[in-house]
Structure 1
Amino acid sequence: MRSGYDVVVIGGAVMGASAAYWLTKMDPSLKVLVVERDPSYAQAATALSVASVRLQFSNPVNVKISLFGLDFIRNFANYVPQGGVPDLGLKENGYLFLTDNAAAAEQMETLAAMQRGLGAQTCVLDPAKLAKQFPWMNLDDVVAGSFGPSGEGWFDNMGLLGGLRSQARAQGAEFVADTVTGLTRDGGRVTHVHLASGASIEASAVINAAGTRGAEIMRFVGEDLPVEPRKRTVFVIDAPNARHPDAPLLIDYTGYYMRPEHDQWITATVPAADGPCAVDDFEPDHHLFEEEIWPALYNRALGFDAVKVTRMWVGQYDYCTLDQNAILGRHPVFENLYMCNGFSGHGLQQAPAIGRGLAEQILTGDWVSIDLSQFGMERVLENRPFAEAAIV
């Protein structure tokens, strides 16, 4: 490990790995160091994600980000020829958002037209069309459903991370297992990154990609960041009377989601008392399935009368409390500090485009492929939310 680098990336999960991949791809001469506190990724949002990609967002820029992510996932071996992962196993069953509200159905039509204009295939189905396509659902309370028949589904999350890391390494990036314990600032610049091992690394540029610990990193330079950990308990359930392997990822207006996982199902909900949790709290909320999810599943679909939870786990969102959108790019106070925080649950699919965008901004001074300026830290300092309605 050197005493100085062109770019030091704090956080080596999917966002940090993507940034390192794109930086070394665009400029192989760059000296890039990625610092990851836990190279096992046992508690990383990347590893604990349900690994989905969708194009149904309310902001056009989020649709564009996911469209590139989709292309990257579909053509992974072409993007990462030395990554050692030939295919991410994308299963394009689609996303299905249900509503019982006529006004929400009209909004679905408006958003679907926008999404189609950008290249998605979103369509809005009335109850009759929904019943024809998904005869196993109870739709008595449903007014409409927004469905993405192609370009939406789920994939291999750790394959994405592993491939990006391997390719970044092949391109010259260095990865070190260590913990960032401080930053030294000199006026409007961050000059050094301090590690638990005792090393002090000089940095020409720093990327904060520390996930749920992103706010902790900013406190090292005396700044606040509206990002906090939010706990999500995910259940894997066996429902032998409900075998629908071609089912979409269903987002029910009643507050849960579910999708098939081989011959079982994955499901989760947002807790009623959702709020910040300890960064090391990975204890499942066991009660959520029987008290909130199962009754809703039973009412929605045939075959969920007999259900067994086979396993469960907790993942954490790096939740942006301002507007549930990412905070990206050069910090307006620190000219060489770049933000990559607050993805609020949809970061995995966004990593290819976000890593590319950060690399472009660092190397050229501006966003190039996609204008990501709406996600800038300026809106945080001005308390100017840039809201995304389609948060799952």
Structure 2
Amino acid sequence: MLPLGRVLRAVGSLQQFRCLCSKAYGDALPSSCDVLIIGGGGMGASSAFWLTSKARQRGKKLNVLVVERDHGYSKASTVLSVGGVRQQFSLAENIQMGLYGHDFIMNSQKHLGDVDLCFQPHGYLIMATSQGAEILTRNSKLQNELGARNKLLGPEALRKQFPWLCTDKIELGCYGIDKEGWFDPWALLMGFKKQARSFGAKFANGEVVGFEWNAAGALSGAVVDAGDGTQHTVKFDTCVLAAGAHSGQVASLANIGSTQAKEASLRVPLPVEPRKRYVYVFSTQGDNGPGLATPLTVDPDGTYFRRDGLGGNFLCGRSPCDDEEPDCDTLDVDHGYFDTDIWPTLANRVPCFEAVKVQSSWAGYYEHNTFDANGIIGRHPHYSNLFIAAGFSGHGIQQTPAVGRAISELILEGRLTTLDLSRMSFDRIVKQQPMFEVNIV
């Protein structure tokens, strides 16, 4: 049987299949809850799973409600991603979250029950020219010190291990030999959701269109448009903002970023907005092509590709330059972008890709953090009962296990007890202290 995530991406059946199969019933909107999670994608569902799991272990009942605007997940970043997990980052926090992501995937049945994430352990191969070789070397050293397993390969070693690869202008490659690969993001999302539900979490369809405040100025409720012409107010003690690409817009409803706010931290907006990214599926008739164990390969210009299944298909894509960002009004695919910006790199790097045929394509949203393109995790400095899990800029799916766990620790224990992700809080934006990641794919 094909992995469900792959079926969902089938050409011509994407919308219909989601509408039929993921129109999973929504729970009724209650009048109140202990924790309201805005967004039922990977981050929100993971947070719900961890919160209810930890509460259950303590013998306590925690009333968790997840509200998701896109009940069919037709535009959700989680299920439209390519599902990679890696440790090839330059920041310790991202490396550690990638390591835990792999650990969680390998032990998914322990956490989520009977779920098959279809993990493919073929690693990443990130290449650099002479200009980036020093950074790649430095990053690899840190990654391995923290527990990752990758090795550096020069041009000759690259050609020997990957005979299909042209190493023109390549100075160095970093190859993940363990703990990296890709998986089915739909299966992970459904695993989180199913287990959270079994632990008592509720998942309702609806869009948060406003907030309410108590007499002290704290957030106390959310106004939810149920999509049937009615609006409901849901009171909460704690709120988690995990609305993906729309998190910045939702935050503004709570006056985050208001120029009229008296407190300085409240005048700082949540810098998360949607960015559209294309994924193309192609096949090749060329000889001596990349085999089944081909890693997810990243060219120095950011073009990536990996195999998809056993039928000789490949996925590929590339993030455009800032001045070339496509319009986000729709998820229509620019087919010309493949011909002008991606195919030339593919054909140069893998000679048998010179004759490729695009089989299908789709577009999805990055929840782009315009401040430093890294996730924002933790308590808002003004609203003590608002926690943020947003802005992961394309590498969030692999971090959902670690981020959901961190959010649950902050809410239930008042502090981070596993990974120290404190540098990734909203405070760095208020203080104008960016954390730039040099290996964003």
d(CA) in 2 for partners of 1:283 and 1:361?
A: 39
Shift of 1:64: 0.7
SS of 2:189 mapped into structure 1? helix
The one of 113, 131, 151 aligned to 1:123: 151
d(CA) in 1 for partners of 2:285 and 2:253?
A: 52
- Seen in structure 2, the aligned counterparts of structure 1 residues 274 and 383 have a Cα distance that, compared at 3 Å, is farther
- Aligned counterpart, 2:167: 139
The one of 385, 393, 401 aligned to 1:336: 385
Is the contact made by 1:183 and 1:190 (CA closer than 8 Å) also made in structure 2?
Answer: yes
The one of 252, 255, 262 aligned to 1:219: 252
Is the contact made by 1:328 and 1:339 (CA closer than 8 Å) also made in structure 2?
Answer: yes
The one of 309, 326, 339 aligned to 2:375: 326
d(CA) in 1 for partners of 2:74 and 2:423?
A: 32
d(CA) in 2 for partners of 1:117 and 1:357?
A: 23
d(CA) in 2 for partners of 1:229 and 1:47?
A: 15
TM-score (norm 1): 0.96
**For residue 190 of structure 1, what is the amino acid of its counterpart?**
L
The one of 138, 152, 168 aligned to 2:196: 168
1:211-360 equivalent positions in 2, closer than 5 A: 211-223=244-256, 224-241=269-286, 242-262=289-309, 263-272=312-321, 273-275=323-325, 277-278=327-328, 280-360=329-409
d(CA) in 1 for partners of 2:205 and 2:197?
A: 14
d(CA) in 2 for partners of 1:130 and 1:21?
A: 42
- Give deviations 1:71-91, integer Å, cap 9, x for gaps: 11111101112xx41x21111
d(CA) in 1 for partners of 2:189 and 2:244?
A: 14
d(CA) in 2 for partners of 1:328 and 1:12?
A: 16
Is the contact made by 2:123 and 2:296 (CA closer than 8 Å) also made in structure 1?
Answer: yes
- Give deviations 1:362-389, integer Å, cap 9, x for gaps: 0111111111111111111122211111
Is the contact made by 2:164 and 2:290 (CA closer than 8 Å) also made in structure 1?
Answer: no
d(CA) in 1 for partners of 2:346 and 2:77?
A: 26
- Aligned counterpart, 1:391: 440
Shift of 1:106: 2.1
The one of 46, 51, 67 aligned to 1:35: 67
Does 2:236 match 1:207?
A: no
SS of 1:47 mapped into structure 2? helix
Deviates more, 1:241-250 or 1:87-96: 241-250
d(CA) in 2 for partners of 1:388 and 1:140?
A: 26
Q: CA RMSD in A?
A: 1.3
SS of 1:304 mapped into structure 2? helix
**For residue 219 of structure 1, what is the amino acid of its counterpart?**
S
Shift of 1:243: 4.7
The one of 219, 227, 231 aligned to 1:190: 219
- Aligned counterpart, 2:127: 98
Is the contact made by 1:4 and 1:202 (CA closer than 8 Å) also made in structure 2?
Answer: yes
Is the contact made by 1:229 and 1:277 (CA closer than 8 Å) also made in structure 2?
Answer: no
Is the contact made by 1:8 and 1:205 (CA closer than 8 Å) also made in structure 2?
Answer: yes
Deviates more, 1:165-174 or 1:254-263: 254-263
Is the contact made by 1:35 and 1:176 (CA closer than 8 Å) also made in structure 2?
Answer: yes
d(CA) in 2 for partners of 1:43 and 1:60?
A: 31
Is the contact made by 2:274 and 2:365 (CA closer than 8 Å) also made in structure 1?
Answer: yes
**For residue 148 of structure 2, what is the amino acid of its counterpart?**
A
Is the contact made by 2:128 and 2:136 (CA closer than 8 Å) also made in structure 1?
Answer: no
Equivalenced residues, count: 387
SS of 2:316 mapped into structure 1? strand
d(CA) in 2 for partners of 1:291 and 1:245?
A: 27
**For residue 365 of structure 1, what is the amino acid of its counterpart?**
G
SS of 2:291 mapped into structure 1? coil
Shift of 1:276: 7.1
SS of 2:132 mapped into structure 1? helix
Deviates more, 1:263-272 or 1:331-340: 263-272
**For residue 65 of structure 2, what is the amino acid of its counterpart?**
L
**For residue 230 of structure 1, what is the amino acid of its counterpart?**
R
Shift of 1:99: 1.0
Shift of 1:188: 4.8
**For residue 119 of structure 2, what is the amino acid of its counterpart?**
L
Is the contact made by 1:230 and 1:274 (CA closer than 8 Å) also made in structure 2?
Answer: no
Shift of 1:69: 0.7
Does 2:101 match 1:69?
A: yes
- Aligned counterpart, 1:363: 412
Deviates more, 1:263-272 or 1:26-35: 263-272
SS of 1:27 mapped into structure 2? helix
Deviates more, 1:162-171 or 1:220-229: 220-229
Is the contact made by 1:19 and 1:358 (CA closer than 8 Å) also made in structure 2?
Answer: yes
d(CA) in 1 for partners of 2:90 and 2:217?
A: 35
d(CA) in 2 for partners of 1:361 and 1:35?
A: 20
**For residue 53 of structure 2, what is the amino acid of its counterpart?**
K
TM-score (norm 2): 0.86
* Percent identity over paired residues: 40
SS of 1:244 mapped into structure 2? coil
**For residue 125 of structure 1, what is the amino acid of its counterpart?**
L
- Aligned counterpart, 2:17: none
Gaps of at least 5 residues in structure 2 are 1-28, 257-268
Gaps of at least 5 residues in structure 1 are none
d(CA) in 1 for partners of 2:278 and 2:307?
A: 17
Shift of 1:271: 2.0
- Aligned counterpart, 1:4: 32
Is the contact made by 1:243 and 1:264 (CA closer than 8 Å) also made in structure 2?
Answer: no
d(CA) in 1 for partners of 2:382 and 2:326?
A: 27
d(CA) in 2 for partners of 1:284 and 1:265?
A: 17
**For residue 297 of structure 2, what is the amino acid of its counterpart?**
L
d(CA) in 2 for partners of 1:293 and 1:104?
A: 20
d(CA) in 2 for partners of 1:277 and 1:322?
A: 20
- Seen in structure 2, the aligned counterparts of structure 1 residues 307 and 128 have a Cα distance that, compared at 3 Å, is same
